[in-house]
A and B are shown apart, each in its own frame.
Chain A
């Protein structure tokens, strides 16, 4: 039995430990801020029923005598057009956006990762076929293709998830393919083949673990982007529908009143900005920590 050797010391991709990690974190305050913010958002999502002053307002409650009230001690973020407490709805919204992002990225990985591994490891016609298909998907700006898919499907959160996942996987296929192709040429893979280890076993136990780090970095970088894309689809009315406390939808609903009731639009939008910002800070810092040399373009 042969163990996959640890990657070359100079190779990027291993998380530094001990003093090196501490030094890395001190040089990178943005990563610390991003991690703290992300934890805060997840905590808010988990503890929503305990934090929200009016949990029922996250659903279809109506309070006809408290419509469009400005922010006050009772309603910190004011109330919306049917009198629901916006603070409570924004808090419950923290359960939706990050979850959508996680599901989308999971599906994108499930499709993109195996295809990339196959294309990179085997090469040849399989590689050509898979990569030409990804080329077609990558010929669209991501939001555009997601929009086209979402526009022809019935409006719902599931539609948003499907539409974004379908546009997101080719990026991962391309990323993994490059990694897998370079790993496939290394001497230890050659050795595995010489030892007669089956190709599926080589793929699964040796190529996969040695090519996956850039994917984890890219996935963490993409959380913010998926949240923004999902909120844009919801804003256009292609996503979640009314009683759902989705931030993009709340901005769209507040649009009709925003010259007189600025708070209905402002706070859900700030929540989107804060969430995308902290996850992006986190992903960006993580990339710097793992892989200071790689340039980026997305």
Chain B
């Protein structure tokens, strides 16, 4: 097991090094002059040259790559061209809101998709199965930026059931101001006993989380169906049936047990996908997370910020996959031997 973990961590470190090099290469592809963008439209030639020197762009590529590496390892991820603040502290300020949004979305997706997948596998080939499969394919086919606009239109503009945008209602800023401790609003509010704020954040979170949940819900429902159908014929499940357990228990407890492993792996994968999907949703709902930061950076052609966010999400994604692999190997010894 120790050997497996060591090997897996070593590969992850190599991949991270590759990821850093790839983001550097993308940054070098930029047509146009980052120094000129940095200095602004009316800068003189001398100012642009000074900016080039300041940004280190006058050095040979190999030296730039080395200092880029060093910078990333020591936590200086460059300065945002747009906000002129360190990219890493911008990301640190924005990340909690996105992690909250994605976690909420994945919880919603699990609660909806696992029962649907089980129902689908329970009566394969029937009308319920066909409609659940069609529904899950609809989920993974959803242009979520469009879904976000439509839900906002229906639930906020027309029905006035849910707030349209923001993290909480602005009036609470005066009556119940939020004290930031962890940066996660949903943790800080209850910690400080600020229940009015907690409720307001939940209400604002619901619509964007539903939108982000569309893709994972479709994926998980399909996965649960396929896994349960795979295991239902196995001897130990037949045995449980023969012992006279009700069908509900056979599916919900025994067949589902084997499906949890692939579902957990899928969750790690989908966590990364959903973080990227927030790029398409947060700006619409004005949710102050990574996605909103990234879209603003894209609009202002802020390359260091774009690459910073890209790198950050890739690191989370690699870490999530690493954790899942190790946990799975701990549970299932067959994986270690591969």
Contact = CB atoms under 8 A, between A and B. Distances in A.
B324 to A, nearest CB: 12
B306 interface: yes
A238 B149 contact: no
Given A153-B31, A251-B146, A265-B146, A143 B317 contact: no
A277 interface: yes
B306 A141 contact: no
Most buried by B among A139, A273, A280: A139
A148 B314 CA distance: 12
Contacts of A284: 133, 137
Contact of A224 (B141, B147, B230, B277): B141
Contacts of A133: 18
Contact of B276 (A136, A143, A258, A295): A143
Contacts of B153: 258-259, 262, 265
A295 B317 contact: no
Interface stretch (B44-52, B62-70, B264-272): B264-272
Contact of A296 (B226, B272, B284): B226
A203 to B, nearest CB: 27
A135 B21 CA distance: 13
A276 B138 CA distance: 8
A263 B134 CA distance: 26
Contact of B143 (A27, A147, A259, A276): A276
B14 interface: yes
Interface stretch (A65-73, A194-202, A229-237): A229-237
B314 A140 contact: yes
A224 B218 CA distance: 14
A148 B30 contact: no
Contact of B317 (A140, A232, A277): A140
A269 B280 CA distance: 14
Contacts of B306: 147-148, 151-152
B143 A236 contact: no
A236 B143 CA distance: 12
B276 A139 contact: no
Interface string A4-36: 000000000000000000000001011000000
A40 to B, nearest CB: 16
B179 interface: no
A281 interface: yes
Contact of B26 (A29, A152, A276): A152
B275 interface: yes
Contacts of A147: 276, 279, 294, 298, 306, 310
A130 interface: no
Contact of B29 (A29, A153, A232): A153
Interface string A123-143: 000000000110111011101
Chain B, interface residues (CB within 8 Å), range = 35 or more
B262 A297 contact: yes
A278 B307 CA distance: 34
B145 A148 contact: no
26 contacts: A29-B130, A136-B19, A139-B16, A139-B18, A139-B317, A143-B277, A144-B272, A147-B279, A147-B294, A147-B306, A147-B310, A148-B23, A148-B26, A149-B26, A151-B301, A237-B298, A258-B153, A266-B150, A272-B146, A273-B146, A280-B140, A281-B134, A284-B133, A297-B265, A297-B266, A297-B269
The 7 closest A-B pairs by CB, nearest first: A269-B146, A136-B18, A276-B141, A277-B141, A272-B143, A144-B276, A141-B272
Interface of A: 27, 29-30, 132-133, 135-137, 139-141, 143-145, 147-149, 151-154, 224, 228, 231-232, 235-238, 248, 251, 255, 258-259, 262, 265-266, 269, 272-273, 276-277, 280-281, 284, 295-297
Interface of B: 11, 14-16, 18-19, 21-23, 26-27, 29-31, 125, 130, 133-134, 137-138, 140-143, 145-147, 149-150, 153, 157, 222-223, 226-227, 230, 262, 265-266, 269, 272-273, 275-277, 279-280, 284, 294-295, 298-299, 301, 303, 306-307, 310, 313-314, 317-318
Given A235-B145, A280-B137, 13 more contacts: A30-B134, A139-B16, A140-B19, A144-B313, A258-B149, A259-B153, A265-B146, A265-B150, A269-B147, A273-B141, A273-B142, A280-B141, A297-B269
